[in-house]
């Protein structure tokens, strides 16, 4: 027998397991196999979400977390990108900076949390700083590597056809490095969430991580689970953004 999978069905298949999990979870909660103090039912979590949404608490925490993530990503990403470009293209800059950056890279940035708290307190700066630091290195390394491995033949061809400076950069070097740069972007989006979760959980007054830690004090299991689900959702979202960028910028590669 032959199975022909329709397009519409194909789209649904990846969601089948998560859905099954939620339905199973709900059923077991109803029957009482999963005690509420271990794991509240999905409906309970949803209810908590709606409640927090109505008080405006949820959107304010989510907004703050997203803001931190974005700010840290932009700052760290820009610095990593610029240094990756410079060190990839210019010998002087490479000699001057690469060794130092490689050394810094080997320090786990989360190990800096105590120091960062002493420096910046537990305000916005400390979180944005940590996210930026975490994001910087994957972007740097992949940009650097991408620029370094651009096909020399294509660069020579570009020069032979009269391109130089900016024109050569935008026509040959940057597009040639793009797939590697996007690998860096994808990876750093993961680092971004991880850093944010850890730093918000350890020290914050606001944000999704704080919401979870605060709920723990009041034994609000539903809010804790809600926070975790939110992180999962945002992780999936940033993955979709990365995919979108790849589809747009690497169109020729399909």
Partner 1 sequence: MESNKEKYILISDIKKSYGERQVLKGLDLSIEKGEFVAIVGKSGCGKSTLLRLIAGLESNDEGSIYMNGEPLDHLNKYARIMFQDGRLLPWKRVIDNVCLGIPDTARVKATDALRQVGLDERMNDWPSKLSGGQKQRVALARALVHNPSLLLLDEPLGALDALTRIEMQDLIESLWKEKKFTSILVTHDVEEAVAIADRVILIEDGVISVNQPIRLPRPRQRTHPAFSMYVEEILEKILNRKKNKITLVKKSRKAQV
Stretch that binds partner 1, among 108-116, 161-169, 185-193, 196-204 (CB under 8 A): 161-169
The secondary structure element, H or E, covering residue 188 is helix 174-202
Q: Which pair of tokens denotes residue 130?
A: 């940590």
172, 177, 241 from 238: Cα distances, Å = 28, 21, 5
Of positions 39, 89, 154, 213, contacts partner 1 by CB under 8 A: 154
Q: Is 173 in the site for partner 1 (CB under 8 A)?
A: no
Q: Is 253 in the site for partner 1 (CB under 8 A)?
A: yes
CB 154 within 8 A of CB 176: yes
Q: Is 178 in the site for partner 1 (CB under 8 A)?
A: yes
Q: Is 161 in the site for partner 1 (CB under 8 A)?
A: yes
| Shortest Å, Cβ 243 to partner 1 | 18
Q: Is 239 in the site for partner 1 (CB under 8 A)?
A: no
How many degrees, rounded to 5, is the angle at CA 142 between CA 94 and CA 93?
10
| Shortest Å, Cβ 172 to partner 1 | 7
Q: Is 146 in the site for partner 1 (CB under 8 A)?
A: no
Of positions 171, 194, 198, 229, contacts partner 1 by CB under 8 A: 171
| Shortest Å, Cβ 241 to partner 1 | 21
CB 97 within 8 A of CB 87: yes
Q: Is 113 in the site for partner 1 (CB under 8 A)?
A: no
Q: What is the DSSP letter of 35?
A: -
- The backbone torsions φ and ψ at residue 69, rounded to the nearest 5 degrees and listed phi first, read -60, -50
Distance CA 125, CA 129 (A): 6
Of positions 42, 76, 138, 158, contacts partner 1 by CB under 8 A: 158
Which candidate, 129, 141, 134, 128, places its Cα nearest to that of 81?
A: 141
List interacting residues with partner 1 (CB under 8 A): 153-154, 156-163, 167, 171-172, 175-176, 178, 250-253
């Amino acid at each position: 027998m032959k199975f022909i999978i329709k397009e519409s069905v194909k789209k649904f298949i990846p969601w089948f397991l998560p859905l099954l999990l939620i339905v199973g979870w709900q059923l077991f909660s109803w029957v009482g196999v999963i005690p509420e103090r271990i794991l509240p039912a999905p409906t309970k979590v949803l209810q908590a979400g709606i409640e927090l949404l109505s008080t405006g608490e949820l959107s304010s925490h989510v907004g703050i977390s997203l803001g931190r993530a974005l700010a840290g990503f932009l700052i760290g990403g820009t610095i990593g990108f610029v240094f990756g470009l410079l060190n990839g293209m210019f010998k002087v800059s490479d000699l001057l900076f690469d060794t130092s950056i490689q050394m810094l890279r080997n320090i786990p940035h989360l190990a800096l949390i105590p120091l960062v708290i002493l420096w910046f307190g537990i305000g916005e700066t400390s979180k944005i700083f940590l996210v930026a630091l975490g994001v910087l290195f994957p972007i740097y390394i992949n940009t650097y590597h991408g620029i370094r491995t651009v096909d020399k033949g294509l660069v020579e061809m570009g020069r032979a056809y009269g391109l130089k400076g900016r024109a050569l950069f935008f026509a040959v070097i940057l597009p040639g490095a793009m797939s590697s740069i996007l690998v860096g972007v994808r990876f750093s989006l993961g680092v971004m969430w991880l850093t944010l979760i850890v730093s918000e959980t350890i020290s914050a007054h606001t944000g999704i991580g704080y919401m979870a830690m605060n709920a723990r004090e009041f034994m609000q299991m539903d809010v804790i689970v809600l926070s975790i689900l939110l992180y999962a959702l945002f992780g999936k979202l940033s993955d979709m953004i990365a995919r979108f960028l790849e589809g747009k910028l690497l169109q020729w590669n399909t």
